Chain A
């Protein structure tokens, strides 16, 4: 990135900062927010490479501990002449079990928007979510939201410049995201130009996407959502990319490494495909079913050699190798978990939910056919006038060899209370 984009980033930051302060003095200012407290109970696994690492030498692999968190979120918006300002900020206090309390704050969104020459524009930090899926969104190429989180939080937007044009049935969106971030940034922090065209055609919504990443190059995508009947909605999304940010290991064998063998790489061309549908009954029972394929995830062969290495590494301890070396190598095996948003390339997802009165309950299951692993989540939400209480339990299942069974946390429970004002 050159000098101009860096100045542009500075401008975005200034716009964002101004929006927080200016909104207080703007016309028609609106302020709202929420206080949110939650407890996540994590049950650490006794199997998998990270658990083994900590058995060889305690504390080698960092594993998220159970934690209590309190978040205060403030939203403000207003207008000043032809400009509109929006800002959302969060302050958080988190106290992990056995750790020290940490305080931090961040700006979720801070942007200005307006209209000129028939186009709408926005500048600043903003959430821009695209695509049609629930469990996975191949074409969410700007926000790149992590899906299926245990207790979803307010999203943190991306720095961007955006221009949009709307007529009755069509919308054009042009986005320059992370306009001046470091060239080395990857994933959602990569600088990129992205565009979406939307067209409504009766019962079908059509979307077309293109993204030009600074180092990942071009990707093209398309998505559709079709209301097939009063009760049934069907959707599909496909994206083909020239490259994807990835990471690979330099040591697939049984030998010990002296440094973390996982290296960031630029993956080859591939596709991401999702199909799904939602059926809803009169009594508000909904069933969502989705299937997707993701070429950015590790292949079956890569997982097989990863598993073989997991089994081979502990044997070094019996050969007199220091426990710290074995533990370190096992802990580095955890690098495989963050290669892609999806652990396995092929995934099936089902979610059964029911809304009645103030209650919303849901059971969802992510299933990976390649190794028969599963992640099941049961949740319930109660919504009052200003208070919302939610809780749930997530459990990993399947054979011991399944990748999801190797993750460092196998069982999580959570309770969240939110007071909105």
Chain B
């Protein structure tokens, strides 16, 4: 692993395909990267050449006196595609919550209309929540409770309600919401041999659910593997694990597993039951339209 000597972690070029793409831009930047060097013998090429490869990159960086926040948008876009396979989607999700001892706690169903330009409409489908709707337009949020039929503006904090917040369910994009840097190559899981790219993301918008995300993605395909999710106060709120549909050749995130780190240590599994391309009428995304019909369709 490579760490920055500054208080904030600074990037090192990711390896493999990403390294080749971003090396030139890094070479032009002018912030020094610190040591120590890669400790686990992980770097370019096979196991024997990794340390040397990593060392070479760092030396090159030092020589040029550079390392700056790369434009990691392409990486995030790659990662986003595993959850958001089209610009406009209808996604049916099932959220199952388990207690710390593994016993089932509760289950909820949601229909999410995830649209382009960071617009999402969430319809609660479980009997106890039926009729509730949440509309997210960029950084602005509204809630409709069925007993009032009155759309109500809510703050980003109010959006955090529940084991799986509405943001967890409705937000499927990191690109555009976050900026950040590649921290380096690290094991995909603390005890695994496979290497991932570790990205450190900072919120670029005020309305996002998590202020900071430490994200690990596959080195080759850039599929999301795991993430640490931090709230505004920089407390670790949840740890996320992404389960892919086909581990050897992933195309979609089949399930996102969240473990609460703030209070109850509960585990929340968000299963993506179905995804289909769907563009909803513009009026559906008008806050006052939420009261129009109990279920919109």
State whether A227 and B231 are in contact (beta carbons under 8 Å apart), knowing that A113-B292, A388-B128 are contacts in the complex.
Answer: no
Decide: B291 and A200 in contact? CB cutoff 8 A: no
Please report the C-alpha to C-alpha distance between residue A200 and residue B206 in the assembled complex, in whole angstroms. 18
| A129 contact from B139, B149, B161, B293, Cβ within 8 A | B149
Q: Min CB distance, B21 to chain A, in Å?
A: 35
A282 and B235: CB pair below 8 A? yes
Query: In this assembly, does A4 line the interface, its C-beta being within 8 Å of a C-beta of chain B?
Result: no
A113 touches B294 (CB 8 A): no
Does A304 sit within 8 A of B, measured CB to CB?
no
Residue of B nearest to A232 (CB): B155
Q: Which of A165-173, A213-221, A315-323 contacts B (4 or more CB under 8 A)?
A: A165-173
Number of interface residues of B (CB under 8 A): 47
B-binding residues in A (CB < 8 A): 28, 30, 32, 75, 77, 84, 86, 113, 120, 127-132, 145, 152, 154-155, 164, 166-171, 173, 198, 200, 202-203, 205, 225, 227, 229-233, 235, 278, 280-284, 286, 355-358, 383-388, 420-421
Q: Answer whether A205 and B153 are a contact pair too, CB < 8 Å, given A86-B294, A168-B282, A383-B128.
A: yes
For A384, list chain B residues within 8 Å (CB): 106, 128
Asked if A166 and B295 sit within 8 Å, CB to CB, the answer is: no
Chain A residues with CB under 8 Å of B160's CB are 282, 284
The answer on a CB contact under 8 Å between B154 and A233 is: yes
- The docked-state distance in angstroms from the alpha carbon of A89 to that of B232 is 44
Contact status A155-B147, CB under 8 Å: yes
- A230–B294 Cα distance when bound, in Å, is 28
Q: A225-B153, A233-B155, A383-B128 are in contact. Are A200 and B147 (CB under 8 A)?
A: no
The residues of B that contact A284 with a CB separation of less than 8 Å are 157, 160-161
Contact check, B291 vs A129: say whether CB atoms are below 8 A apart. Answer: yes
Q: From DSSP, what is the main secondary structure of chain B's interface residues?
A: loop
B35: interface (CB < 8 Å): no
Are A358 and B106 within 8 A (Cβ)?
A: yes
Other A-B pairs, 15, CB within 8 Å; known A127-B149, A166-B289, A171-B286: A120-B283, A127-B148, A128-B149, A128-B291, A129-B149, A132-B152, A154-B147, A164-B288, A168-B286, A227-B153, A227-B154, A227-B156, A282-B233, A355-B161, A385-B128
Whole-angstrom distance between the alpha carbons of A383 and B107 in the complex?
A: 12
| Those of B255-270 within 8 Å (CB) of chain A | 262-264, 266
Given contacts A77-B294, A166-B283, A282-B160, contact A129 B288 (CB under 8 A): no
B264 A230 Cβ-Cβ under 8 A: no
Distance of B151 from chain A, by nearest CB (Å): 9
Q: A356 contacts which of B148, B263, B297 (Cβ < 8 Å)? A: B263
Asked whether B140 is an interface residue with its Cβ less than 8 Å from the other chain, the reply is: yes
Task: Please encode chain B, from 114 to 145, with 1 for each CB lying within 8 Å of some chain A CB and 0 for all others.
Answer: 00000000000011101000000101110000
Closest CB pairs A-B (n = 10):
A129-B150, A171-B288, A166-B283, A420-B127, A280-B157, A225-B153, A166-B286, A230-B156, A127-B149, A231-B157
